[in-house]
Amino acid sequence: MNDKLFHYTKLQVHFGGDTQEVVLKTEKEPTSDDLSKSLQHNFRVPIDEQRIYYRGQRVHNDPTILLSKYGLFTGNTIKLIGNRGLT
CATH number at residue 23: 3.10.20.90
In a domain, 1, yes or no: no
In a domain, 17, yes or no: yes
In a domain, 39, yes or no: yes
In a domain, 2, yes or no: no
In this model, does residue 86 exceed pLDDT 70?
A: no
Task: Tell me the average pLDDT of the chain.
Answer: 92
Percent of the chain with pLDDT over 70: 94
Give me the domain span that covers residue 28: 7-81
CA–CA separation, 77 and 35 (whole Å)? 13
* Domain count along the chain: 1
Backbone region of residue 56 per phi and psi (left: phi > 0; alpha: psi in -120 to 50; beta: other values) = left
In this model, does residue 67 exceed pLDDT 90?
A: yes
What is the DSSP secondary structure assignment for residue 31, as one 8-state letter? B
